Amino acid sequence: MKKIIKASLILLLFCACTKSQQPDNVEITNSDNTPSSIPFKKYLGVNAFEWDFVNEQVSASVIDEQRMALIKSFGGIRHYLDWERMEAAEGKYTFNPTHNGGSYYDVIYQRLKAEDIEVLACIKNVPKWLVKDFPENERATDNSPIPFGLDKSSPQSYISQARMAFQFAARYGSNKNLDPALVSVDPSLRWNGDTKNEAKIALNLIKYVECSNEPDKWWRGKQAQQSAEEFAANMSAFYDGHKGTLGKNVGVKNADPNMQVVMGGLGAANPDFVVKMINWCKKNRGLNANGTVNLCFDVINYHLYSNDSFLNGGNATVGYAPELSDIGTIADKFLKMAKAEAPGLQVWLTETGYDVGKTPQRAIPIGNKTSYITQADWNLRTALLYARHGISRCMFYMLDDAGGIENKTQYSSSGFHDDFKPRPSADYLLQTKKLIGEYFYTSTLNNDPIVDLYKNGSKQIFVLTIPDQKGRTTNYELNLGDAKKAIIHSLQVGKNEMQHQTVDVVNGKLNVNVTETPIFIEKI
């Protein structure tokens, strides 16, 4: 089952993300130096499945500490969560354990909350019972979430998915005042001695839930692809049962008004798709009392991978350093659109990353650095870039390889470990999370080398890096004001902590050798 799911993901991602918009111009940085209110650990997320937390050969109900040690490298989890896991038979909901797959979501989510690792539950794909009426050659788990023959432009068509979303939000959200009669689980046992599912309300474990994954999948044909207007209708049902018209037990907000609904991450990074969704909402959901559009999502979300496609008419041949690609320009376009069309909404980037194998998304060896170390450099620099530009979350694809380093398909070797031994990418993210995870991006003081200032109260740490991909280095004189000493924090492969060196500061200035691997200078 795992291999089938991963193979499907490779195919979907290969088709979805080989093209990106041609930038107006490629810029190294394009920050307006606006201080961030998002702690940096929120830019260190990763995509993962439920089996990444447990050793199913031992127990699906007990967190595996070897796996958990790896998970602690990250500041957030985007949980790829198949609808069928929770509703294997129509109207029969199971969560702990699930009757499809035997997972214990209560256990996983409780541990992640205890570790202060934020979860985005991405509810995706459709169950077999939903697609059984499709022609045999059109049955697929990534079809649009409606029964065969229904109108994709009508919110009513998505009521089954929206009912399931209600049950998920009722259980894992924070609304203690929900009518218990609206909550349902399947109490049947799979075998003698099996754990019985129990109805629960307001476990307060999940704040963010995502509706589908890459709904704009143009490469998959009419049964899977949704237009902006069709996806808006889908989200209107998922969000609040199309403003409550589909029933009390339909839609996330009817279960928990506090849960934040994230739009499914777009496979094509096109802000116009979101604008069309907003226009649909204005027409079909109307305006709020304050004159703003009554939207059916709380967070804008897209996917984008940094490669040379913007130089090759949309065809990727190799991964590209983040600052030299078009990803910053596209981030700015999304943020500009959000500010104009949906003021106050955050913009997230929930899939990005690099392979280490032989694919068109590969990180390249540079000098004496292997592709593994370049992957680590570029992933961390991607997170720094999105913080600099003002995107509110960054999540990497994905914890595991989806095919291995010998596979030539895009996104097949983007993982962060080999048999649970962390790759340099995991080392770098863990070390950075420990050092500046609670810090906030404040400003960019220089563009080449990039010098970013992060603050946490009165504490200041400068992050310096060369935005290139050819092994370039430079000496930079960093102004540390009245500081007499500083700590130079350097990333290390195979370690849980950075190397720390306390140095003297002469007349407020510190000369630093800057490379394409970020270095961190703490003012003391």
pLDDT for 20 equals 37
- Quick one: residue 272, left, alpha or beta (phi over 0 = left, psi -120 to 50 = alpha)? alpha
Q: Tell me: the pLDDT tens digits for 32-89?
A: 567 889 999 999 999 999 999 999 999 999 999 999 999 999 999 999 999 999 999 9
Query: What gap in Å lies between CA 420 and CA 91, rounded to an integer?
Result: 37
423 with 356: CB under 8 angstroms?
yes
Residue 21 in this model has a pLDDT that exceeds 90: no
Mean pLDDT of 383-399: 98
Q: Please choose, from the candidates 323, 306, 276, the residue with its C-alpha nearest in 3D space to the C-alpha of residue 469.
A: 323
% of the chain at pLDDT higher than 70: 94
Q: Tell me: the pLDDT tens digits for 171-200?
A: 999 999 999 999 999 999 999 999 999 999
Q: Find how far residue 435's CA is from the centre of its chain.
A: 22
Q: Find how far residue 10's CA is from the centre of its chain.
A: 16
What is the topology classification, in CATH, of domain 447-523? Immunoglobulin-like (2.60.40)
Mean pLDDT of 252-256: 98
DSSP string over 446-478: EETTEEEEEEETTEEEEEEE---SS---EEEEE
All structural domains of the chain with their residue ranges = 146-191+229-297, 447-523
Mean pLDDT of 427-444: 98
**Angle, nearest 10°, between helix axes 271-284 and 327-341?**
20
Amino acid at 355: D
